[in-house]
Amino acid sequence: MKVTLTSVYSPYCFPTLLKSSSLSTLCRPFCSSALPSPPTCVKPQVPIFLRPPIYSNKLCDLNKWHDWAKGVAFSIGSTFVHSDNGPDSSILCRELKWLMEDAVEVPSLDDERVRMRIDIEELYCLWKQRVHERRPFQYVVGCEHWRDLVLSVQEGVLIPRPETELVVDFVSDVVSENEELKRGVWADLGTGSGALAISIGGVLGSGGGRVIATDLSPVAVAVAAYNVHRYCLQDKIELREGSWFEPLKDMEGKLAGLVSNPPYIPSKDISGLQAEVGRHEPRLALDGGIDGLHALLHLCDGAALLLKPGGFFAFETNGEQQCKALIDYMENNRRGSFCNLEIRADFARIQRFVIGFRQ
């Protein structure tokens, strides 16, 4: 089955006359189980901290909820740590503090009442979901703090990870030394919440550089669009819905840069994931096929085709093994396409990224 989506978000996506045979294979989504239904209009949810403080509650009721929630958090101890490396009580308590920050308007109305962005009843529900159903905290509050951004997230969109923050540093280093790349067109493939695209949009500054962000998931595209709007970057960042390079047919040999954090977890590992991830985050965002390399290898091929000479790329991977496999693939199967290949570690010392340039 072949997807041809001309997204409402991509005015520039005119059908290109294809002569390249390689593109037709590149455009095939490999994950057929995850085909989106026709682009229904997904309405992004508003994170709690952005909602108007329309509820007024008694301070003592809020305290009561807080004490109850704290008790629930403490009752967990390190049970989740032992079962699947999940959060312990101290992490849950910190989350509780942040939930309060997001839900309660400061300063309070007076000594007895506070203004809130959601009702107390709902707070009870949310905290039960957080602890008993292991619903990720970021879905509960509807946002994730990532670099200097606060990004809206919701079920169906991957919560951006701290590791990925480093990709922006790589790009920032590269463009600070190369004006041409700074003024060029960049792509973020599988943009999810739009985290990388938005940060890179910021890094490129006002010099004319722009970013095209793609995702196969309509929910991701809608949420990314919402976030792009929040940071007023709609003139710099264009969203296109579709599988990997399929919406980028017009960019062959033109990209100044390409970044991606594609799904890279080997399929067999999915069932053992921490509950917050395995039960709640979209499989489409995580499952990288048998060896986890499915999307990554596909991206290497596409990078060879779409990057212009001297163009930069950065991919996030599952770790040392995948990094080495990618380098091996690029040096042998794509001989002559890339140069200055490098493996970079994340802050936990895990070899996490492969970066390099188009020859």
Partner 1 sequence: MSCFVRTKRLSLFLVKLVGKSSLSPHILCSSSWFCCPRKTAPYCVPSSALLQIRFWAAASTSDGLTLQAILANNWSILDENDGDWKSHASAIARSIHLIKRRLQWDKLKPRLDMLSFQLNKADFWDDPMRAAKLSREHGSLLGKMKLVNALEQDLLDHIDLIKLARQDNDAHLESESLKALVNMRKNAKEKELEALLAGDQDSCSCYIEIQAGAGGTESMDWAAMVMQMYMSWAQRRRYKVTVVDEMPGEIAGIKRATIKVDGEFAFGYAKAEIGVHRLVRISPFDSNKRRHTSFAAVAVIPILGDGSTHVQINESDLRIERFRAGGAGGQHVNTTESAVRIVHIPTGVTATCQNERSQHQNKASAMAVLQSRLDQLELARQAQLNAQHTKSLTDITWGSQIRSYVLHPYRMVKDLRTNYEVSDPDSVLEGDLDGFILSYLSASLDKDDDA
Of 121 and 342, which CB lies nearer to partner 1 in the complex structure?
342
322 scored as a contact of ligand SAM (CB under 6 A): no
User: What does the alpha-carbon distance between residue 353 and residue 202 come to, in Å, rounded to a whole number?
Assistant: 21
Q: Are 292 and 31 in contact (CB under 8 A)?
A: no
CB of residue 357 vs ligand SAM: minimum separation in angstroms? 21
Among 72, 285, 300, 314, binds ligand SAM (CB under 6 A): 285
Among 13, 26, 27, 195, binds ligand SAM (CB under 6 A): 195
318 scored as a contact of partner 1 (CB under 8 A): yes
Among 5, 7, 29, 48, binds ligand SAM (CB under 6 A): 29
Interaction with ligand SAM in 204-223: which residues (CB under 6 A)?
Answer: 214-217, 220
Q: Which does 87 bind (CB under 5 to 8 A by kind): partner 1, ligand SAM, none?
A: partner 1
66-74, 159-167, 295-303, 305-313 -> range binding partner 1 (CB under 8 A): 159-167
User: What does the alpha-carbon distance between residue 288 and residue 144 come to, in Å, rounded to a whole number?
Assistant: 24
Of 146 and 313, which CB lies nearer to partner 1 in the complex structure?
146
Q: Which does 89 bind (CB under 5 to 8 A by kind): partner 1, ligand SAM, none?
A: none
241 scored as a contact of partner 1 (CB under 8 A): no
Of 31 and 76, which CB lies nearer to ligand SAM in the complex structure?
31
31 scored as a contact of ligand SAM (CB under 6 A): yes
Of 98 and 124, which CB lies nearer to partner 1 in the complex structure?
98
Interaction with partner 1 in 91-120: which residues (CB under 8 A)?
Answer: 91, 94-95, 98
86-94, 168-176, 185-193, 334-342 -> range binding ligand SAM (CB under 6 A): 185-193
Annotate each residue in 52-91 with x if it binds partner 1 (CB under 8 A) or - if it does not, as one string: -----------------------------x---x-x--xx
CB of residue 16 vs ligand SAM: minimum separation in angstroms? 18
7 scored as a contact of ligand SAM (CB under 6 A): no
Planar angle of CA 102, 58, 101, nearest 5 degrees? 15
Task: Give the closest residue to 295 by CA, choosing from 324, 268, 317.
Answer: 317
113-121, 174-182, 297-305, 346-354 -> range binding partner 1 (CB under 8 A): 346-354
Residue with tokens 């991830």: 277
Q: Count of residues binding ligand SAM (CB under 6 A)?
A: 23
User: What does the alpha-carbon distance between residue 247 and residue 27 come to, in Å, rounded to a whole number?
Assistant: 8
Residue 53 phi, psi (nearest 5): -80, 75
Q: Which spans of this chain sit near partner 1 (rule: CB under 8 A)?
A: 81, 85, 87, 90-91, 94-95, 98, 136-138, 144-149, 158-159, 161-163, 165, 261, 263-265, 269, 273-274, 276-277, 281, 285-286, 316-319, 346-350, 352
Q: Which spans of this chain sit near ligand SAM (rule: CB under 6 A)?
A: 29, 31, 158, 160, 164, 190-193, 195-196, 214-217, 220, 243-244, 261-263, 284-285
